[in-house]
Amino acid sequence: MKDQLRITEIFYSLQGETRTVGWPTAFIRLTGCPLRCTYCDSAYAFHGGNLMPIDEILHRVASYQPKYVTVTGGEPLAQPLCFALLVRLCDQGYEVSLETSGALDISKVDQRVVKIVDLKTPGSQESHRNYYENLNHLNPKDQIKFIICSRDDYDWAKKIITEYQITKHCEILFSPSFGEITNQSLADWIVEDNLPVRFQIQLHKYIWGDIPGY
């Protein structure tokens, strides 16, 4: 069938990050990713998965009766049919968000979808993959995320924010890379610089621990 996506898992949990942190959310994790970030916590989604028709995906999601649905990966946009899935989810009336690496073109993403774009820092070893043209396709409801691995990453992110005037595009999120820098260090740097970003932690890891995919 042509309307199938390769899915690693569909599950219901609390959103651990972004503006909807803490809300019960249905997650659809697509299989595959062209990047290999050093801090990736979902490498198990690089391969495998099961082919699933979009109608079956929607049925599984509906069983949770969610308000919020997040499409994630891997890199979900590595599967072209992801765009159609996002449209179908929005048509069902869900509040839909997409977690994407920012290395692939987001211009065709349905405008109803909240795009969370992860601009890769040097510490990820994938910063050369950032596709900055994506900034032209962001709305105020969208979010840019930086995962900070070190002080060098922090200083780099500040430079990128200024160079590309990201505060004019959307909200900016800074997250400490789990186990690499402390929450307090990053929080102190943000406060000292009065940086116009939102500090966030991965709430799910403080509830359930450093479990892959959570």
Kindly report the number of other CB atoms within 10 A of residue 131's CB atom: 14
Is the pLDDT at 209 greater than 80? The verdict is no
What letter does residue 20 receive in the DSSP assignment? T
Q: Residue 97: helix, strand or coil by DSSP?
A: strand
Give the pairing of strands 95-100 and 114-119. parallel
Q: Predicted confidence band at 207 (pLDDT cuts at 50, 70, 90)?
A: confident
Quote helix, strand, coil % in the chain, to nearest 5.
Answer: 35, 25, 45
Q: How far is CA 37 from CA 34, 96, 115, 149, in A?
A: 10, 25, 20, 11
**Structural domains of the chain, ranges and CATH numbers in brackets:** 4-208 (3.20.20.70)
**pLDDT the model gives residue 213:** 52
Tokens describing residue 141: 């409801």
Tokens describing residue 59: 């049925």
Please write the tens of the pLDDT for every residue from 164-183.
Answer: 999 988 999 999 998 899 99
CA distance 196 to 177: 19
**pLDDT the model gives residue 41:** 84
**pLDDT the model gives residue 121:** 96
DSSP letter for each residue of 79-91: STTHHHHHHHHHH
